[in-house]
Structures are given as structure tokens and as C-alpha cells.
Amino acid sequence: MLLNLVYSLALLTLWPYFLYHAVLHGKYREHWREKFLGAAPQMPTSACGRPRVWFHAVSVGEVNLLKTLIARLNANELHWDFVVSTTSKTGYDLARRLFAHSCEVFYCPLDFTWAVKRALRRVKPDALVLIELELWPNLIKYAHKRNVPVVVVNGRISERSFRSYHRVRALLAPTFARLALVIAQDDLARDYFQKLSPRPERVLVSGSIKFDGASTDRNAEPTARLRELLRVLPEDVVYLCGSTQAPEEEGALEVYRRLYRDYPNLRLFIVPRHPERFEQVAQLLNASGLPWTRRSQLQAPLSAQTPNVDRNDDPTRIVLVDVMGELSALWGVAQLAFVGGSWGSRGGQNMLEPAGYGVAVSFGENTRNFRTIVESLLRADAAVVVRDVEESFRFVKTCLDQPEYARQLGQRAQELVLANQGAADFTLKALQDLLAHGNQS
């Protein structure tokens, strides 16, 4: 009951923030019964003894990772029923697009006792699988009480989060003890989990499922469709800045401004991380005075829309990608990449997606969320750290002047991705074993 009081006080304190975003961006307003009352879908008892797995993926990144896991599940013909919950609106929207025809998708209940107990009763899972890490004590506690094993897959803990957890490890020890299994994505994450858990023997290492989720086929249908839609010609050099936050869009625009006249085949695609920033980035592009267009306005291949346009005046040389869910495939049309969230405090975004396509990858130095992956890329000379606009400019210019350098950089990145795949199959085997033997606490 103390946790319920703490959560209630936190909600009261943060109410102005939630109200502001609800009014301005439409966030937090939908599906309140699922969030506050645990009104998850009412599921029948699983048919034919098939296990039912509740997968929880917080937002877009975790949903994309779950897409990889479920694809392997289907490929291995594992006959499981499953449901998917998310926390964020963007994660929910993406999960609906990906999984609505194969399973129920819903918002995970907030960690109030009554909400999580009701959701568990309605879903009736045989296992609860948390993607990367979502330590909600009540959810884990009441799943454990129902003899539902709780598993963390592709587990990761940043150094900052580890320090925070370690300070209150006595309070979190019961929660960690209730985890039936933790499958960490690298040795560092395993060490952090083992230091926090009273049951360190339950922590395994699989490698990162993100490697398995990185496509390597530039001719795959989603990428080919986007290439046609955006009229990416064979001679074009696309500089794609993805999952960006301020001031990364401004930096990308400055790099492009300094190069586009001398390199008429250079194009710039910007994909902000959060949809509520689309308009802010649009205003930045308007202020630049350069021609640009929105991805949302393109519904047919541009070759049919803008014939015989002078390249310097072509609005499609700069594209603001203001739709969600396309970035994974869009990396495959690029030759050069900047992976965002790495100049600010966010800790970086997934750089394996462009690496898988053999793109010449760059990112800033603030990549704590992908520490091991970044170390692997840099050790293989398969990516470049750019700390500011000037270093980004030098990276892009070098790649334009020395195409073979860019090609080899991308080739080494792709080879690294291919060499590290296999974590999804390891994870599914571990889940199979757990479901076969139940929650042995």
C-alpha cells in the first residue's frame, strides 16, 4: 500500500506536466481505463495448452526489438499465444501497426496494486517478458504471486541507472529476487544485474537482439518503396540524420548548407525522435530559406511529381520525415548517417540499424545507452564519433570526397552486425526451457 501512496503523490506532483502534454500534444489522454484500472483485454483460457506470453515493450525502440523476437518466434514455429503491452503512445501506435492482426495490443497498467492485479487476472499469462528493463515492483510482485515467471530479455542498465538502483538496492532486492530470469545483452549489463540481484545465478548473457533486428537488405520491399517514393537516384548521396533531438537538426542543416552547392547529389533527410517536435523542426527548415518538403506530403513517387526541377531548387533534396515507424527501413536508402540522441543527454539511439545496411555511420560522444555496441563499432573501425558541427562537417565531406573510405566504413559495420547475430534464438530457447519447467522460485 505504501507504493500506491508514493505513486499517487508522484502523479499529483506531476499533474501539471501531464495536463500540459495532454492538451498540447494529445498524450496521456487515451486508454485511461487500461492504465489506471488495469482494463487489459479479457483473454480466454489459452487453447490446447498453448502457453500465453505477455510481452511488455515500453516505447518504439523496444517494440522494434520485440518485432525481431516475434519474427524469430514465428520462424521457429513456436505455437505460443501472446499479447503485447506498451507504455508510450508512439510505442502503442507502432505495436498496433505491427501486431494488431496477430495479438491483442494494450497499454500496460500503471503500477498500482488494483490495476496490475486486474490486468493479470484478465490476461492470464503463463510468462511476463519485459523488454530491456521495466522494474515495476507491484507488477512483478503480483505476477510472482500468481506463479507467473517474470523474465527480462535483452536486459540493459546504464551506468547512471545502476548507480541509482545500487543506492536503494535494499528496497529493490525483493523485486530483483522475483525475476525468474534475466537475459542481459552484454557482459557489462550482466555484471550490473548480478550486483543488484540476490539471485545472480539467474542472469545470463545472450548478446543484443538489436543485432538480429538490423536488416542488411537494401532491396527489401519497405526500403525499395521508400527509395522510389523519395526519388533516391543511384548517383545520390543521402545523409540521413535519424532519431534526432535539439540541437542535432540544426547541426545537420548547417553541415548540409556548407556542402550542398559543391555536391549537387547530396541530400539531407531528418527524422526527429519525437513526433511533437515535427513542427519545431519544420520552423527551423522554414527559417533556413532552403527548399524542403515533408515526408507526409509524399503519397506517390516523386519522379511523377517533380519532373525537370533544377537540383538546387528541388524541395526533395531536404526531407523532414514527419511520420512514425519508417526509420528502420529508411536507413537502407542512405549512404551516410548521423544517429541522434548523442549530442544531448539522451544517451544515444540504435546505431545498428544503419550499420546493418552498410551505411557509413557517425554519432556523438554521449552514447551511454549503447556503450558496448559503440565500443565494438569503434574497435572495428566501423563508425566515427563526431562531437560537434565541425566534426560532422569533416566526416560528411571526407565521405563525399573519398567514396571508397565511406564504402569500407559501412562494409566493416555490416560485417560486425552479421557476426553478432543469434541473440534472438538464444532468448527464445531460454524462454522455452522456462515455460517447460514453470516458475521455480
Q: Using one digit for the tens of pLDDT, what is the confidence trace for 24-61? A: 555 555 677 899 899 999 998 876 778 999 999 998 88
Rounded-to-integer distance, Cα 208 and Cα 424, Å: 8
The reported pTM is: 0.82
**Which single residue is written with the C-alpha cell 565521405?**
399
Identify which of 18-32, 165-179, 378-392 has the greatest average pLDDT.
Answer: 378-392
Tens digits of residue pLDDT in 209-230? 999 999 999 999 999 999 999 9
Q: Round to whole Å and give the CA distance between 144 and 439.
A: 8
Give the span between the Cα atoms of 133 and 371, in whole angstroms.
Answer: 16
Helix or strand (DSSP H, E) at 151: strand 150-155
Residue 33: count of CB within 10 angstroms of its CB: 13
Query: Is residue 427 within 8 Å of residue 206, measured between CB atoms?
Result: yes
- How much is the average pLDDT of 287-293? 95
Q: Where are the beta strands (DSSP E) in 157-258?
A: 179-184, 203-205, 237-244
Name the residue type at position 375: E
| 369, 158 Cβ separation under 8 angstroms | yes
Looking at the chain, the whole-number percentage of residues with pLDDT higher than 90 is 75
User: With 90 as the cut, is the pLDDT of residue 10 above it?
Assistant: no
Instruction: Decide if pLDDT at 435 tops 50.
Output: yes
Cell of 273: 525522435
More confident residue, 254 or 310: 254
Average pLDDT over residues 346-373: 94
The mean predicted confidence, pLDDT, of the chain is 90
d(Cα 367, Cα 275) in Å, to the nearest integer? Answer: 22
- Of 116, 240, 130, the closest CA to residue 179 belongs to 130
pLDDT band at 305 (very low <50, low <70, confident <90, very high): very low
Q: Mean of the pLDDT values across residues 283-290? A: 96
Task: Show Cβ contacts of residue 228 under 8 Å, excluding neighbours closer than 6 positions.
Answer: 301, 303
pLDDT tens column, 79-135: 899 999 999 888 999 999 999 888 999 999 999 999 999 999 999 999 999 999 878
**Looking at this protein, which amino acid is placed at residue 408?**
Q
- CA–CA separation, 360 vs 349, rounded Å? 16
DSSP bridge pairs for 267: 238
pLDDT computed for residue 296 by the predictor: 94
Q: How confident is the model at residue 394 (pLDDT cuts 50, 70, 90)?
A: very high
Residue written as cell 570526397? Answer: 401
For the chain, give the percent of residues with pLDDT over 70.
Answer: 89
Q: What is the DSSP letter of 276?
A: G
Look at residue 300 in the predicted model and tell me its pLDDT. 67
Q: What cell does 30 get?
A: 487515451
The answer on pLDDT for 424 being more than 90 is yes
**Predicted pLDDT at 251:** 98
Task: Give the pLDDT confidence of 380-389 residue by residue, as tens digits.
Answer: 999 999 999 9
User: Rounded to an integer, what distance in angstroms lies between the CA atom of residue 334 and that of residue 356?
Assistant: 12
Q: Would you say residue 441 has pLDDT above 60?
A: no
Distance of alpha carbon 130 from alpha carbon 62, whole angstroms = 9
Which residues pair with residue 360 across a beta bridge?
336
Q: Report pLDDT digits (tens) over 231-242.
A: 999 999 999 999
Note whether 352 and 210 are within 8 A (CB): yes
Local confidence band at 304 (pLDDT 50, 70, 90 cut-offs) = very low
Mean pLDDT, rounded, for 197-220:
95
Beta carbons of 413 and 359 less than 8 angstroms apart:
yes
- Residue 299 — very low, low, confident or very high, per pLDDT cuts 50/70/90? confident
Asked if residue 1 has pLDDT above 70, the reply is no
CB-CB contact of 316 with 236 (8 Å): no
Residue 324: pLDDT over 90: no
Sign for the CA dihedral angle at 243, 217, 422, 380 comes to negative
> For residue 17, is pLDDT > 50?
no
